[in-house]
Amino acid sequence: MADAEHIIWHQTTVTKTDRERRSEHGGAVVWFTGLSGSGKSTLANRVEHELFKRGIHTYLLDGDNIRTGLNSDLGFSAADRKENIRRISEVAGLFVDSNAIVLTAFISPFQADREAARQRVADDEFFEIYVKCPLEVCEKRDPKGLYKKALAGQITAFTGITSPYEEPPAPDLIIDTSEQSLEEGTQNVIDLLEKNRVIGNK
């Protein structure tokens, strides 16, 4: 970026603190990571619904949805996956600044990329949720038929089959969807946000 020296961040009159005072809750990134078919999108959707019912400002960023627009120019190479997460991290950071709780549902297989996403916001504004599920269960669920195609060699660099997934070494919360119900998982995420005073108890 040769012209980066000419770019100066514009300070707005309405601040993040102003927005927090009006909404009476904080902004945060709730980052759901896990294998395809683990239940990330389903869980993130249910959590958002529960938060929305409380009058909390939310937005859900889903992997497939983002790739239909903002990241439609990206493929699934290691470099493209890294850029995919970088862009999402920047968008999520803007949502936090707007005082929303943004829920992101992405495989995000690499620890370094997830850590970079965490660094985009304050320490107390990022919550990594590892949606854990055994590979064999994900293969059996296979909601999009992707595992079948990957095992048949029709998809290359597919996470869990021909591309690695790096488990989070210290996530803020682990939800095993092969053992926990959707309701239990949802409540665990809500409890985490309440415990960290992002939202109030109700």
Is 160 annotated in a binding site? The answer is no
93 is in an annotated binding site: no
Residue for token digits 């064999």? 136
Any catalytic annotation for residue 89?
Answer: no
Give the active site residue among 108, 163, 178, 181. Answer: 108
Per the annotation, does 178 bind a ligand? Answer: no
Dihedral-angle region of residue 197 (phi above 0 means left; psi in -120 to 50 means alpha; beta otherwise): left
* Rounded Cα distance, 108 and 146, in Å: 16
Is 82 marked within a binding site? Answer: no
Provide the β-strand partners of residue 105: 32, 62
Could you give the CA distance from residue 50 to residue 71 in angstroms, rounded to a whole number? Answer: 28
Residue 132, annotated ligand binder?
no
Is 37 annotated in some ligand binding site?
yes
36 known ligand binder: yes
**Cβ contacts of 142 within 8 Å, gap of 6 or more:** 37, 148
Identify whether the C-beta of residue 92 lies closer than 8 Å to the C-beta of residue 128.
Answer: no
Is 40 annotated as ligand-binding? yes
Q: Which residues are annotated as a binding site?
A: 34-41
Catalytic residues, by residue number, are 108
Q: Which residues are annotated as a binding site for ATP?
A: 34-41
